[in-house]
Amino acid sequence: MFLKQYIKDVWGAMKSLATGMKRTGYYFTHHKEIITEQYPDNRDTLVLPERFKGEVVMIHDENNEHACTGCTACELACPNATIKIITKFDVDAETGKKKKAIDTFVYHLELCTMCNLCVEACPTGAIKMAQTFEHSVFDRSQLTKTLNKPGSKIREGVE
């Protein structure tokens, strides 16, 4: 029985190796499927995969409104303190009630590992990963970014 198993092992190994070689042989003979991007040459037509993670951005609509409630879930989710949210209190003009809102959404790109945990943590879908990737600058302080645009406010109905 040992010998039977032994021959079976050898045969199975040869067969699985042949399967692998068939696959790569197919790739070798089909050059049209090439996935290389000729990067600096094709800046205009560059197509990045959908799931590519370049940097964290906040989504603003055409009225300069965002969906960030300042709940700091992203700040807590971040493993290396990339995000710092400074909150303030908006006073409602009609009712006089105070409401928590963000003053500044500080994002340290130089610390970010693009782990996507902040985007996962956000309950309102206010931030997402952008596809930009040419981040080099001469001064490190330029990498500290404020994500909410000046004068932007929270969208109506987002709690």
Partner 1 sequence: MWSLSNIATSIDQWLNETFNPTLALILEMLIAGVAVIGLFAMLGLILVIMERKVSAWIQIRLGPNRVGPKGMFQSLADTVKLLVKEGMTPGGSDKLLFNVAPFVAMIVAMLLMAPIAFAKDFQLWDLNIGVLYISAVSSISVISILMAGWASNNKYSLLGAMRSGAQIVSYELSAGLAVLAIVVLTGSLRVSDIINSQADGWWIFKGHIPAIISFVIFIIAVTAETNRAPFDMAEAESELTAGFHTEYSGMKFALFFLAEYVNVFIVCALGATLFLGGWMPFHIGTWEAFNHVMDYIPSSIWFFGKTFFLIFLIMWFRWTFPRLRIDQLLNLEWKYLLPISMFNLLLVTLIAILGWHF
Binding residues (CB under 8 A) for partner 1: these are: 9-10, 17, 20-21, 23-25, 27-28, 31, 33-36, 38
- Select 23 or 135, whichever has its Cβ closest to partner 1: 23
Q: How far is the CB of 27 from partner 1 (least distance, A)?
A: 5
- Select 29 or 95, whichever has its Cβ closest to partner 1: 29
127 DSSP β-pair partners: 58
Q: How far is the CB of 34 from partner 1 (least distance, A)?
A: 5
How far is it, in rounded angstroms, from Cα 105 to Cα 126?
A: 11
Q: How far is the CB of 17 from partner 1 (least distance, A)?
A: 7
Contact 59, 128 (CB under 8 A): yes
- Select 27 or 89, whichever has its Cβ closest to partner 1: 27
Enumerate the H helices of the chain as residue ranges: 2-29, 73-77, 117-121
Contact 122, 74 (CB under 8 A): yes
